[in-house]
C-alpha cells in the first residue's frame, strides 16, 4: 500500500492469474524472449487505486466483489436481456429499475434451481429456458376447474420434472 498525491495504491499478485496470463502470452503470435523478459514480472498483477485508507485485505475483497458485480451485470444484461432503461422521468426510472431488480432476483432463483438440478452440466441457461417455454398449463372453457398440461417431448418432460421436484 502506497499513498501518493491524495490516492492510495494497492498492488497484489494473483498466482493463478499470473499462470494464465503467462500461458496466454507464450502461446500468442507476438511471443519473443525479449518481450517475455520485459513482461514476466507484470503477469498476475492487480493494481487498485482508491481515495480511502483501508487495509490491503479490504482492498482485495473489494476487488473480488467488483468482479461478482460484473458477473451479475453480465447475467442481467446478456442472459435476462434487460439492457437499457428507455424512460424519461425519475419515477419511471425507479419503477423500471425496481422491475428489473425483481426480474433479476427471480432469474437468479430460477438459475439456482437449474444448478441444483445439475442441468448446467449439459445445457446452457438459454437452452433450459427454451424447454420451459414449452411447458404450459391450459384451461378448457367447458371445464374451468381443470387445468391441463401441454404436451412436451419426453426428454424435455424429464428435465422439467427434475427441476420442479428437486
The 10s digit of each residue's pLDDT in 140-164 is 888 878 888 788 888 888 888 888 8
Which helix (H) or strand (E) is 135 found in, with range? Answer: none
Identify whether 92 is part of a domain.
yes
Identify whether 43 is part of a domain.
no
pLDDT at position 91, please? 76
Identify whether 25 is part of a domain.
no
Identify whether 11 is part of a domain.
no
Instruction: Look up residue 130 and give its three cell numbers.
Output: 427454451
The 10s digit of each residue's pLDDT in 67-122 is 777 777 777 667 666 655 454 667 777 777 788 788 888 888 888 888 888 898 99
Backbone angles phi, psi at 92, to 5 degrees: -65, -40
pLDDT at position 80, please? 62
Instruction: Look up residue 104 and give its three cell numbers.
Output: 433479476
pTM for the full predicted model: 0.42
In whole angstroms, give the CA distance from residue 28 to residue 7. Answer: 35
The 10s digit of each residue's pLDDT in 1-58 is 888 888 989 888 888 888 988 888 888 888 888 888 888 888 988 888 888 888 888 8
CA nearest neighbour of 49 among 9, 5, 13, 6: 9
Domain total of the chain: 1
What percent of the chain lies above the pLDDT cut of 90?
1
Identify whether 161 is part of a domain.
yes
Backbone angles phi, psi at 69, to 5 degrees: -65, -40
Residue 105: give the domain boundaries. Answer: 80-166
pLDDT at position 85, please? 45
Identify whether 100 is part of a domain.
yes
pLDDT at position 81, please? 63
Identify whether 149 is part of a domain.
yes
pLDDT at position 147, please? 84
Q: Integer distance in angstroms from the first to the last C-alpha of the chain?
A: 48
In whole angstroms, give the CA distance from residue 90 to residue 51. Answer: 30
Report whether 117 contacts 162 (CB < 8 A). Answer: yes
In whole angstroms, give the CA distance from residue 114 to residue 3. Answer: 46
Instruction: Look up residue 49 and give its three cell numbers.
Output: 487505486
Amino acid at each position: 500500500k502506497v499513498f501518493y498525491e491524495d490516492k492510495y495504491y494497492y498492488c497484489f499478485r494473483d498466482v493463478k492469474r499470473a499462470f494464465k496470463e503467462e500461458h496466454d502470452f507464450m502461446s500468442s503470435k507476438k511471443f519473443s524472449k525479449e518481450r517475455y523478459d520485459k513482461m514476466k514480472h507484470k503477469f498476475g498483477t492487480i493494481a487498485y487505486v482508491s481515495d480511502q485508507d483501508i487495509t490491503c485485505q479490504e482492498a482485495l475483497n473489494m476487488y473480488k466483489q467488483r468482479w461478482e458485480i460484473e458477473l451479475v451485470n453480465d447475467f442481467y444484461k446478456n442472459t435476462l436481456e434487460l439492457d437499457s432503461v428507455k424512460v424519461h422521468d425519475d419515477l419511471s426510472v425507479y419503477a423500471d429499475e425496481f422491475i428489473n431488480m425483481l426480474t433479476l432476483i427471480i432469474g437468479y432463483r430460477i438459475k439456482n434451481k437449474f444448478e441444483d438440478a445439475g442441468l448446467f452440466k449439459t445445457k446452457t441457461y438459454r437452452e433450459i429456458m427454451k424447454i420451459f417455454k414449452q411447458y404450459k398449463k391450459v384451461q378448457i372453457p367447458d371445464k374451468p376447474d381443470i387445468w391441463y398440461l401441454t404436451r412436451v417431448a419426453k426428454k424435455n418432460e424429464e428435465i422439467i420434472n427434475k427441476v420442479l421436484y428437486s
